[in-house]
Amino acid sequence: MALPAAVLLLLLLLALLLPLAALVLGTVLLGLPSYDIPAGVNQPAKLRLVLAVLLGTAALGRILEKTGLCSQITFGRYVRQGRRLRLDPKLFIQDLQFNKVPVRVYQPKATSHGRRRGILFFHGGGWVFGSLDTYEKVCRYLSRESESVVVSVQYRLAPEHKYPAAYEDCLNATVHFMRNAEHYGVDPACISVCGDSAGGNLAAAVSQTLAGRADLPRLRAQILIYPGLQALDFNLPSYHQNRGVPLLFRERAAFFALQYLNGDASHMQEVLKGSHIPPDMRQKYRKWVSPDNIPEKFKVRGVKPLNPTDFMAEVYETVKRFCEPNLCPLLAEDAVVHQLPESFILTCEYDVLRDDGLLYKKRLEDNGVRVTWCHLEDGFHGIISLYDYGGLSFPSGKRGLDSVVNFLKGL
């Protein structure tokens, strides 16, 4: 008796998918031992499970790219996209455009006795991933708990849109909001910029650009959550101590920076070795980018100083914009840093970007800027986004997010 067409189709799909699933699973199992889940990290068993999902997604993305179905980045965006949540009884939420930049505005429904705080939020994702939906839970939480108007900005992503596209979108959206704050019930003198990871980089760059603007209100604060702030030295202590700790690996940090810069990661190994920066320029910035400026307690897990390597002029020519503060805010001159608003910096012990935050904290404090610092001793990169992730939630992520809320309430 012939099988029904539907059953035959199902068997065909299984025949195609099972080998693929086996290949993905094998890649994950082979890859897990090469990554490091420190004993002191928050919820290590859960983090290992998250890592398995990431490795499986990456493996499947590579397979799809090789078959020509879609690029690995496109597949990664699809998986990370998230979903629109149900209506929030405490918030008005609307999608708008500020200076042609897509934004999502979160406004508390509760009656306010005065104008509210305003927060521009720039999402993370290595300038390559992330969306309004990806950070929906985080932005809702910030708006509800701090009773602030939050504007989440959907800047253009790399590598399709290279530097300075993301920075320009964030700057344009911020300027529009500052000039129209009263329309949203926001006090123009109480607007802050906020972002995590790549979004923290963008928040720092926007804050520096606006520091000297006389035609706009002064930003009230900048909130930088495990920000990436430089691409000169990928051999700072945290980059080696946490090189294999999810959710951001040392090589991926360099890969994302290159994707944002020019969409070309072919010189990633040279950048990791430090061959991309001329010796005189490295010496110039050593006063700001150096293990010497990092407290000793953060070096106990090991330090691997950058060994002198042969400078490669041809590589420098392709990445020389790494020395622009709008791309690497840690390199801004003191005259700019001195004008910056009150700051909040969150760092995580098990994060390759930890030392970027520590170095910027020192620069701000050396220039008389008030800094509130939150360090998650058991935190890892990306933990804020996992504060409410069902069975894979991380309590330390909520502690970090609550520290941001408390800072905002104190402004």
The answer to whether residues 260 and 166 touch, using CB atoms and an 8 Å cutoff, is yes
DSSP-derived 3-state class of residue 130? coil
The answer to whether residues 348 and 386 touch, using CB atoms and an 8 Å cutoff, is no
Helices 72-80, 44-67: axis angle to 10 degrees equals 140
> Is 381 tagged catalytic?
yes
The answer to whether residues 117 and 405 touch, using CB atoms and an 8 Å cutoff, is no
Q: Which residues contact 138 (CB under 8 A, 6 or more apart)?
A: 121, 384, 385, 387, 401
Q: Which residues contact 95 (CB under 8 A, 6 or more apart)?
A: 102, 103, 104, 105, 132
Query: What is the H or E stretch that residue 74 is in?
Result: helix 72-80
DSSP-derived 3-state class of residue 236? coil
CB atoms within 10 A of CB 275: 17
Instruction: Name the catalytic one among 143, 146, 197, 396.
Output: 197
Instruction: Name the catalytic one among 169, 196, 233, 351.
Output: 351
- Measured distance CA(320)–CA(317) in Å, rounded: 6
CB atoms within 10 A of CB 204: 30
- Measured distance CA(44)–CA(248) in Å, rounded: 15
Cis peptide, bond prior to residue 159, ω within 30 of zero: yes
> Is 351 tagged catalytic?
yes
Instruction: Name the catalytic one among 381, 385, 396, 403.
Output: 381
Token pair 């950048």 is found at 271
- Measured distance CA(108)–CA(146) in Å, rounded: 9
Cis peptide, bond prior to residue 164, ω within 30 of zero: yes
Using the 8-state DSSP alphabet, how is residue 322 labeled?
A: G
Dihedral, 194, 368, 211, 292 alpha carbons, nearest 10: -70
User: Which positions are annotated as active-site residues?
Assistant: 197, 351, 381
